[in-house]
Amino acid sequence: DSCGVRRAGAMALRSPSSTSRRDLVPRYSPPADSLPPTSQGGFSNGARADVARKTKEEADHLLAKLEKEGVEIDGKITSIIGDGIGRIQADAAR
């Protein structure tokens, strides 16, 4: 159909180059406790990094729930979500 969703028992989003959610985003995420404090109190950079980390964790959790319900995440969806997380991480680094 025109939405990219096919129904055959369970809902699935498919493309010829389906990927697993494990391939969704780059796996580099420094642990929050490894971030160096700043000379200006450390809150701003640490808080931003925490937002980026939590956003990625939430996206991974959501994708896991979708897969559990039978939704297959295709390459296009993977790319869109990965780009969004990358933008959040870049904004958090500023």
pLDDT string in tens for the chain (94-residue length): 444 444 444 445 444 444 455 555 444 444 454 445 444 445 577 777 787 788 888 888 888 898 899 988 888 888 888 888 888 878 777 7
Q: Which residue has the tokens 């979708």?
A: 66
CA distances from 22 to 2, 11, 64, 82, 84 (A): 27, 20, 10, 11, 16
- Angle between helix 75-93 and 43-68 (nearest 10): 170
| pTM of the model as a whole | 0.45
Q: Give how many domains the chain has, as a whole number.
A: 1
For 32, the domain range is 5-93
